[in-house]
Structure 1
Amino acid sequence: MEQAASLPGYTLYAPANLTFSQKLPVVLWANGGCMAYGNRYRIFLSEIASHGYLVIAIGGVGPSTIEGGTEEGMPPPPKSTTAPTLSDYTQLGKALDWATAQNRNAKSPLHAKLDTRRVAVMGHSCGGLQAIAAAADPRVTTTVVMNSGVWNTGPGGLPGAPVTKASLTRMHGSVLYIGGDASDGAHENSRDDFGRLTTIPAIWAYPDGVGHGGTYFEQAGGSFGKVVVSWLQWRLKGDRAASSMFAGVECGLCGDTRWHVARKNIK
């Protein structure tokens, strides 16, 4: 985990050793609460990066007390999505602009080490709404919406994440919705989002006994970490072994009694 002088206001995660032949896909991350602390999800994001990804999280490194812990429940939707906010979904696209420039810059440590044609945009809670907003970017390959979904009533989004149900029609590539059970305040919103998706490969999955806080702060990101890494390995790297968790008549996640899984356009 580090910060780059040329990208203030963000935190980077990458394998410590960059001397390898395989290029790193790019993962863009938005925090719960639309926080501007890039180290908030350090455990979860470090696990992802360790599998060969450059992760760029919104926000600089805050006090160590911000890392891990518990996540508050999803807030009620505001009356306006134009109120002041700690971060904005447009920061995700700007992070990808930076990564693309670094990949082309012969003086950068990341020169020719990134695969900027393979990009995931992800986020938790409010960050999930920011991911949905950013998913309209044609450069995005896959979207991961975590403990989140567009509200069924009101404006739909939050400040920094001005989304409505119409935003779902602009998603492309593929999408994974992963969240908590009925105790998760975003559960019904995510269910409704998934129900509206018709044209792209999509999965909606949640385990029993997990709420809005997910498993981000458990070792290696807990069960969420395992599922998301497998999704990225499949959708960004074409890993057939990883695809078995989601695809096929007897997909691995489908056969796990702890999980509930619904799929569309996935064979």
Structure 2
Amino acid sequence: MAQLAGRLIVPLAVGVGLLQASLYDVPGGYRAVMFDRFSGVKDEASPEGTHFLVPWIQRAILYDCRTKPRNISTTTGSKDLQMVSITLRVLSRPDIKHLPKIYQTLGMDYDERVLPSIGNEVLKAIVAQFDAAELITQRELVSSRIREDLLQRASEFHLKLEDVSITHLTFGKEFTVAVEAKQIAQQDAERAKFIVEKAEQERQAAVIRAEGEAEAAATISRALDRAGEAFVTFRKIEAAKAIVQSLSQNRNVTYLPTGGPNGSGILLNVPAQQQ
């Protein structure tokens, strides 16, 4: 019995090892390209899950098919010969249907081989079509042109781009100094324009004020012409009343009635006696 069990252990262990060697797992987000020693690379990639293969004859190559970010930077010249440093952020992944072709032509490091090359090519070609100022004012158009051309070039290598955007854009020192000088000049021009407009408004206000005063003087003159001496006498009476009221409030002034028919009196300025 013991001899029979010993004989079974060896074949059973061999069978278990062979079964384990015949299975392979494809994790989530991955695909497997199958390489056969006799027929070469299979036409279709294996999806996620557990699959069978022939040990020592077939080999599974795992590809990460999840979207991966990458920055592409370059320094190139604009249409007006200004040096521009531009950085592009790209989210890419391989085309699952063409994974066997990617493995045959590009290998495992397909993104390292393709993206920097086509990225620099597209950036240099697009930037050269715009002036430095247009790269700032028409940034959305520049980004759209770069995205379209890069998508087309990437599709030739069976790569899919989920997003393409400009993250960094700087210019040479000379252009930066020129832009700052232009901004200062524009600010000075705006300040001078404001001063001129302010002076013009003050001049118009002075003209309107002078016209108003002249019109008021003309109105008074016409009123005096119509009223004649009666108006002058009325103003004298008002002035006399004001003087009398002011003197009557002085402690040194004494009022003496004269007993006249109009109840008039005399105001005497009597100095106060010192104690």
TM-score, with normalisation over the residues of structure 1?
0.22
Question: Which structure has the larger Rg?
Answer: 2
Greater strand percent: which structure?
A: 2
Greater helix percent: which structure?
A: 2
TM-score, with normalisation over the residues of structure 2?
0.21
Which of structures 1 and 2 has the larger relative contact order (alpha carbons within 8 angstroms, sep 6+)? Answer: 1
